[in-house]
A and B are shown apart, each in its own frame.
Chain A
Amino acid sequence: MHMIQRSWKIGGIALLAYVFWTTFTVPLGPGLLELRNLERAAVVDGLDRKVAAYELIGLGTHWATRPEDLSVVLRKKENLTSLPVVEVIDDTHAVIGLAIPDTLPSRSWDVLINHPVDGTLFLQNGLFLNGVSVDETATWPALTLTEFPADLPHHFPFQPRIFETIRNLMLHVPMWFTMFLLMGIAFVASIRQLSQTSGGSSLFDLRAEASVQVGMVFGVLGLLTGSLWARYTWGAWWVDDPQLNGALVTVLVYAGYLILRGSVEDERLKARLSAVYNLFAFVILMILLMVLPRFTESLHPGKGGNPGFNSYDLDSSLRAVFYPAVLGWMLLGTWMYRIRLQATQLNQKLHRLNDQ
């Protein structure tokens, strides 16, 4: 029995050690940052007229190795066209030539590259052209593009604007999941507290209290990691967003729960009143974090209609860390909750002995 108890704790710590190690050591994969107009002309072999020069900027790319195999393509739906690479400056910078016809099917184009090391990368709406006439029926020479993955060791996927902060997925999201789990434990404990016949013990009440206390720790950590992430990706510590409002209000509601506990003296009344309030709190948590974000627009990743799993753009490299992270944080949270519960029970026993 003791062996089993110890093994899940050791398992949780081992998982979190693996999660922390991989979260901060796995490199970020390559990606495209920008296609910038150099406002000058470039000479391209095989073309007698001069064309506009653009600079393609990548992050973590390897164009200096085998620069002759770098190919750049513009895409709009089925329209694909190849762009000549004028010069590869270094790993992350290359000059591209762009001969613009007068009539184009569209003004904005996705930019794709193929490179033997980096694989296929793309920059959505990377090119926007002013001063051209748009004819949607116009077509460009058809081209087939074979997409292939990067030839690089294990890495996290590159996401526009998110970049290195994608690592926060392993901290922030599992912290909220753990908070959900703990508040769920508190919810069940409160229901059982209310459903036992009067004069019953306050064991379930103590359980609810301990799990809300630990859940609050994870909620506050979730707010802090989220705020830090927002500072780097959105440029502000806090933004007005349904998901963020919901998170803050949830933490406030549970703070209310702890304050309510502090303001009632009688143990039995306290157990009953706080159980009732806790049920309200959990329903509000569900409304705020599960229901409301589905109906409102949100900037939060994975939101905007469907706060589900698949929309996190999880690929296998992220999953290999994310699922262990969820399990590891939950095990840690459960462990903290058990310790907290034992401490409260011992404290209560001590008070009773003191009274006698």
Chain B
Amino acid sequence: MSVLSNIRFLLHHAIRVELRNRHGIAGLLVFAVAAVYTCYQVTGTHAEQESWNALAWVVLLFAGFNAVSKPWADDDEGVRAFLVHTVRPQEWLIARTLYYMLLLGTVSTVTFATFLLFLGMDHLSGWTAVHYYAGVLLTSTALASLLAMIQALASRAGGGFSLIAVLGLPLILPVILVSTRYGGDLMRGIAFADTAHHLLFLATLTAGFSALGYILFPYLWRD
């Protein structure tokens, strides 16, 4: 099989497993909605600009971490031993990254929509909301590209959720620093063109993480 069809197969497989076992993704969405509702209980629709921005990113970040930290069938030693002999490690990593991009994109879209629904759009209007959403999507892409690697690393180390958080959170902080600054800029009314370099930086980080993962992943996977 060619590389592309391998990746397509692995991606299809991941999505099929996810959809077959619907309580997994439902659990993520319940987590996200509950987190947003908790914020709503505290601030109502009158959150200050800074609080709104902070709450949005905290909820998005933890919804994302939650999404990637659930155990995988592939993490099982037997399944991994089978996959090691059937596909190249990079193919597996690319499929996993693409799948995480889809998953995190979905989760953060639902989370962000719920957030807008409950906490109101006082600070974002029209195109600003669209630009903010573009930031959310790019952030979840960057998260996906890094966490695909970190999740594999943590599961190899046998550490589970706490290890993903310990290893992943510090590494993801540069992304969060850039996205929170971007969101804050948009809400303060700074023109999109003057703050768009943050998006470029997010894309660069994503590319960097992916390249690093592509190079290093084989070392992680082999025995």
Q: How many residues of B contact A (CB 8 A)?
A: 24
CB distance from B11 to the nearest CB of A (A): 24
Cβ–Cβ contact A259 & B219, under 8 A: no
CB < 8 Å: which of A198, A272, A284, A292 contacts B171? Answer: A284
Q: How many residues of A contact B (CB 8 A)?
A: 29
SS of B interface (majority): helix
Cβ–Cβ contact A275 & B157, under 8 A: no
Most chain B beta-carbon contacts within 10 A, residue among A256, A259, A275, A281:
A256
> Nearest residue in B to A265 (C-beta to C-beta)?
B158
Cβ–Cβ contact B212 & A272, under 8 A: no
Chain A, range 41-68, C-beta contacts under 8 Å to B: none
CB < 8 Å: which of B153, B159, B169, B177 contacts A276? Answer: B153
CB distance from A71 to the nearest CB of B (A): 46
Q: Which residues from B are CB-within-8-Å of A140?
A: none
Cβ–Cβ contact A256 & B174, under 8 A: no
The verdict on A273 contacting B212 (CB below 8 Å), with A256-B166, A263-B157, A288-B174 known, is: no
Q: Does B220 contact A (CB under 8 A)?
A: yes
Cβ–Cβ contact A260 & B171, under 8 A: no
Cβ–Cβ contact A252 & B170, under 8 A: yes
Q: Which residues from B are CB-within-8-Å of A288?
A: 174
Mark interface residues in A243-272 (1 if CB within 8 Å of B CB, else 0). Answer: 001100100110110011001100001001
How far apart sit A194 and B221, CA to CA, in the bound complex (Å)? 12
How far apart sit A272 and B169, CA to CA, in the bound complex (Å)? 21
Q: Does A283 contact B (CB under 8 A)?
A: yes
Cβ–Cβ contact B158 & A284, under 8 A: no
Cβ–Cβ contact A260 & B167, under 8 A: yes
Q: How many A-B residue pairs have CB under 8 A?
A: 71
The verdict on A277 contacting B219 (CB below 8 Å), with A249-B173, A252-B173, A253-B171 known, is: no
Mark interface residues in B162-176 (1 if CB within 8 Å of A CB, else 0). Answer: 010011011101100
Q: Does B72 contact A (CB under 8 A)?
A: no
The verdict on A259 contacting B166 (CB below 8 Å), with A264-B158, A284-B174 known, is: yes
How far apart sit A296 and B125, CA to CA, in the bound complex (Å)? 27
The verdict on A264 contacting B201 (CB below 8 Å), with A252-B170, A276-B220 known, is: no
> Nearest residue in A to B163 (C-beta to C-beta)?
A263
Q: Does A287 contact B (CB under 8 A)?
A: yes
Cβ–Cβ contact A245 & B177, under 8 A: yes
The verdict on A260 contacting B170 (CB below 8 Å), with A272-B220, A273-B220, A275-B219 known, is: no
Q: Does A8 contact B (CB under 8 A)?
A: no
Chain A, range 231-245, C-beta contacts under 8 Å to B: 242, 245
Q: Does A312 contact B (CB under 8 A)?
A: no
Cβ–Cβ contact A260 & B201, under 8 A: no
How far apart sit A281 and B170, CA to CA, in the bound complex (Å)? 9
B residues with CB within 8 A of A:
149, 153, 156-159, 163, 166-167, 169-171, 173-174, 177, 197, 201, 205, 208, 212, 216, 219-220, 222
28 A-B pairs with CB atoms under 8 Å apart are A198-B222, A245-B177, A246-B174, A249-B170, A249-B177, A252-B169, A255-B170, A256-B167, A259-B166, A260-B163, A260-B167, A263-B159, A264-B158, A269-B156, A269-B157, A272-B219, A273-B153, A276-B219, A276-B220, A279-B216, A280-B149, A280-B171, A280-B212, A284-B170, A284-B171, A284-B174, A287-B205, A295-B197
Given contacts A259-B163, A260-B163, A272-B219, 15 further A-B pairs with CB under 8 A are: A242-B177, A245-B173, A252-B170, A255-B170, A256-B170, A260-B159, A263-B157, A264-B157, A279-B212, A280-B149, A280-B171, A280-B212, A283-B212, A284-B174, A295-B197
